[in-house]
């Protein structure tokens, strides 16, 4: 087999000095082959121009030869770069491309958080980018290069939280080694999973990136004070290792926040359109301000937004739709009809419900209701409609709809495996706790123990299904029925026994509310406070009143108005004095100080009259007292409001 032939340019030479005048032997020379195309070396095949370009007199060793540069570009496709949101800064596409191509971050995601209330440390109008680094070293190098790039190219001042400087890293490594030596000398082992060095997460906050956006005055955006604020967009880049990203799950957090914000936006749009189509004559729906959570699908149209309802009966309400439709009540949806029924007085609702559950055509409401149902309605929606209609009828005290039948319908609904919304579940509970009336001549309400037992069974079934039954809404229902007697007026015990039983029930219920760990809900807490005060559970009222600042909720002017009015209606001088002495000074110490104006002035003056019936004469006689000083402030506030109205 012929030996490979080497050129003089590629053969290494150690010295150009001649040690002997004898020429090289023939055996030292490489053999000449008859087939040069077979004996060409791979180097000559790849770089055939080497022998032509290099002079024979110059010899370049193989380890000093320059190879052609190899440029590997990372392909960029639509799947690698997230979609750019509208009205984004001009540098955002460049930043995303640099983050993917130059820094080499994978699984890039972009979240537009400009409509959300993000933590103050991130700034306002935030656009967040999340990427994954391949290792801890790649994480630190990428964050450092990103900060330098932002400083050099865009003259920004980014801040990398979690990125250690060189000196700080040396100190931490030295301390870690010292702890390891001490542990080794003591025969112990230290497992430091989170040593502060390999955090696996670096947050690069670039700050406001669109500097061309003009600054806005604080007064123009609804804040008190002087100065200007940046209204531009802030960009935050979150860099994780793969394990840390899966552990933190930052995407899940912001996706849920965006989903809740979108639901709230759609809910507000629905409420605004619904408010335009209803009149104040229709009462508040028991399904909440936005209607029931589970909608009944129907091919019928909803009420026109320009339609206004008036009148105590369903026919009067439907007559208002004749201006927008060819016939009153035609093409009304099932949900709209149920809301019309809820808004009627109890007598009108009972008459529109007909003779009983089997009646489907005796009244105008029943005719329109069953005509509005689509022909291919699912069994789940039919069962949901029957349960909804039954709870409305029981709460309106229809004689043909019993609480026992409602409970049986509720049990069958759950046994069939249908999904019950929390809103409808509490409506069923409220219907079972509706007081009964013995007869028309004796309208005094009473609530039998059998009804309470049915309500408790409903709570047991709901708790088994994972429904959070302990909340302020439930406690409000229980407090409203705790003082209702369990026997009809003809069989009631003496007043002393009734008051003793009421006191015992209030004590037990107050202990349950105090011991229960209930999620704080400010609107329901305000309703419960009024019920607690009227049920004479003053300790529970003050306990809930003091929870507002502890739970991050502010006490408003309406809360103080309600506070003073409740004490004024109670009529007890001692409690009114204690309330005024403690909470009038606290009005100025609230996070948002309470200004003395509007209905608050009238409620405060009524409470002052209860605390000191002779306060008017004291104020006129300039008798110095704390209450007379408050009275004078109230009079000055009324005079200012009257002068403002005249102007």
| Per-residue pLDDT reduced to its tens digit, 184-222 | 888 776 666 666 677 789 999 999 988 777 777 766 666
Closest CA to 337 of 362, 367, 305, 299: 367
At 472, the pLDDT band (50, 70, 90 cuts) reads: confident
Residues in the chain: 647
**69 vs 334, residue with greater confidence:** 334
pLDDT tens sequence across 534-586: 888 888 899 889 989 888 888 999 999 999 999 999 999 999 999 999 999 99
For residue 374, what pLDDT is reported? 81
SS3 110: strand
Residue 362 makes CB contacts below 8 A (sequence gap 6+) with: 354, 355
Could you tell me which residues come within 8 angstroms of residue 597 by beta carbon, excluding any fewer than 6 positions away? 557, 637, 640, 641
Q: Judge contact between 133 and 105, C-beta under 8 A.
A: yes
Give residue-wise pLDDT tens across range 56-113. Answer: 446 788 888 887 765 556 666 656 788 899 888 999 999 999 999 999 999 999 999 9
240: pLDDT confidence band, cut at 50, 70 and 90? very high
Q: Please tell me the predicted confidence (pLDDT) of residue 509.
A: 74
User: Considering the chain, what is the average pLDDT of its residues?
Assistant: 76
Which tokens sit at 413? 């609904």
The pLDDT of residue 51: 44
What would the pLDDT profile of 440-457 be if each residue is shown by its tens digit? Answer: 555 678 888 888 888 888
Cβ atoms of residues 551 and 520 within 8 Å? yes
Kind of pairing, strands 436-437 and 216-217? Answer: unpaired
Per residue in 413-422, pLDDT (tens digit) is: 888 888 888 8
Measured on CA atoms in the order 179, 180, 184, 185, is the torsion positive or negative? negative
What pLDDT, on the 0 to 100 scale, is given for residue 39? 45
| CA–CA dist 378, 372 (Å, integer) | 14
CA angle 479, 450, 509 (to 5 degrees): 25
Share of the chain above pLDDT 90, in %: 16
- Residues with Cβ within 8 Å of 237's Cβ and at least 6 positions away in sequence, in order, are 95, 99, 128, 129, 130, 131, 146, 203, 204, 206
Pick 289 or 8 by higher pLDDT: 8
To the nearest 10°, the Cα dihedral for 182, 185, 189, 195? 20
Q: What are the contacts of 523-527 at 24+ separation with CB within 8 A?
A: 524/471, 524/472, 524/473, 524/476, 525/472, 525/553, 526/559, 526/562, 527/472, 527/473, 527/476
Residue 556 Cα distances to 289, 523, 548, angstroms: 22, 12, 10
The listed range with the strongest mean pLDDT (301-315, 316-330, 349-363) is 349-363
Closest CA to 301 of 275, 283, 327: 327
CA distance 14 to 328: 110
Domains of the chain (ranges; CATH) run 90-188+196-211+231-267 (3.30.460.10), 554-646 (no CATH)
Pairing of strands 126-133, 234-241: parallel
With a CB cutoff of 8 Å and minimum separation 6, the contacts of 447 are 433, 435, 436, 481, 484, 485, 486
Is pTM beyond 0.75 here?
A: no
Assess contact for 332 and 321: CB atoms under 8 A: yes
pLDDT (tens digit per residue) in 24-61: 444 445 554 444 444 444 444 444 444 444 444 467 88
The b-or-e profile of 464-480 (16+ CB within 10 A means b, else e) is eeeeebebbbbbbbbbe
- Do 99 and 108 touch, CB atoms closer than 8 A? yes
How confident is residue 125, by pLDDT bands cut at 50, 70 and 90?
A: confident
């Amino acid at each position: 087999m012929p030996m490979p032939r080497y050129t003089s340019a590629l053969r290494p030479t150690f010295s150009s000095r001649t040690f002997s005048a004898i020429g090289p032997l023939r055996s030292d020379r490489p053999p000449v082959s008859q087939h040069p195309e077979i004996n060409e070396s791979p180097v000559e095949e790849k770089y055939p121009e080497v022998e032509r370009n290099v002079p024979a007199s110059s010899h370049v060793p193989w380890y000093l030869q320059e190879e052609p540069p190899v440029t590997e570009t990372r392909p960029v496709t639509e799947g690698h770069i997230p979609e750019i949101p509208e009205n984004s800064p001009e540098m955002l596409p460049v930043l995303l491309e640099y983050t993917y191509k130059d820094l080499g971050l994978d699984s890039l995601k972009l979240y537009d958080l400009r409509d959300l209330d993000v933590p103050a440390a991130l700034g306002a109008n935030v656009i967040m980018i999340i990427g994954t680094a391949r290792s801890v070293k790649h994480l630190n190098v990428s964050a450092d290069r990103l900060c330098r790039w932002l400083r050099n190219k865009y003259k920004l001042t980014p801040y990398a939280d979690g990125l250690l400087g060189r000196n700080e890293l040396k100190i931490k490594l030295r301390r870690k080694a010292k702890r390891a030596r001490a542990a080794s000398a003591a025969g112990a082992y230290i497992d430091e999973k989170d040593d502060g060095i390999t955090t696996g997460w670096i947050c690069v906050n670039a700050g406001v990136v669109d500097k061309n956006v003009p600054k806005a005055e604080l007064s123009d955006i609804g804040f008190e004070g002087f100065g200007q604020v940046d209204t531009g967009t802030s960009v935050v880049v979150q860099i994780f290792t793969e394990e840390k990203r899966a552990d933190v799950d930052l995407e899940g957090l912001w996706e849920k926040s965006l989903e809740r914000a979108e639901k709230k936006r759609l809910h507000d749009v629905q409420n605004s359109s619904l408010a335009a189509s209803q009149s104040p004559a229709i009462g508040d729906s028991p399904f909440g301000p936005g209607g029931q959570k589970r909608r009944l699908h129907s091919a019928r149209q909803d009420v026109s937004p320009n339609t206004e309802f008036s009148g105590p009966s369903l026919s009067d309400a439907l007559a208002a739709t004749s201006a927008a439709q060819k016939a009153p009540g035609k093409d009304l949806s099932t949900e709209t009809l149920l809301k019309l029924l809820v808004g009627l007085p109890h007598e009108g609702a009972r008459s529109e419900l007909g003779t009983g559950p089997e009646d489907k055509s005796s009244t105008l409401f029943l005719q329109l209701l069953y005509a509005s149902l689509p022909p291919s309605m699912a069994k789940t929606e039919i069962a949901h409609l029957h349960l909804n209609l039954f709870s409305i009828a029981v709460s309106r005290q229809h004689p043909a709809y019993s609480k026992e039948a409602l409970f049986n319908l509720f049990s069958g609904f759950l046994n069939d495996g249908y999904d019950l919304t929390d809103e409808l579940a509490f409506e069923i509970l409220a219907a079972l706790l509706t007081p009964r009336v013995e007869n028309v001549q004796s309208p005094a309400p009473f609530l039998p123990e059998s009804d309470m037992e049915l309500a408790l069974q409903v709570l047991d079934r709901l708790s088994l299904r994972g429904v959070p039954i302990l909340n302020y809404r439930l406690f409000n229902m229980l407090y409203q029925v705790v003082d209702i007697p369990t026997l009809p007026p003809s069989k009631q015990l003496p007043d002393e026994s009734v008051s003793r039983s009421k006191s015992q029930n209030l004590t037990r219920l107050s202990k349950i509310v105090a011991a229960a760990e209930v999620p704080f809900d400010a609107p329901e807490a305000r309703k419960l406070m009024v019920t607690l005060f009227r049920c004479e559970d003053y300790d529970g009222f003050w306990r809930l009143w003091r929870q507002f600042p502890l739970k991050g909720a502010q006490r408003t002017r309406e809360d103080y108005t309600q506070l003073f009015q409740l004490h004024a209606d109670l009529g007890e001088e001692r409690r009114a004095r204690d309330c005024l002495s403690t909470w009038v000074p606290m009005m100025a110490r609230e996070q948002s100080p309470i200004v003395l104006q509007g209905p608050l002035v009238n409620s405060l003056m009524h409470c002052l009259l209860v605390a000191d019936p002779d306060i008017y004469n004291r104020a006129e006689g300039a008798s110095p007292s704390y209450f007379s000083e408050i009275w004078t402030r109230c009079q000055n506030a009324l005079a200012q409001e009257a002068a403002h109205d005249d102007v």
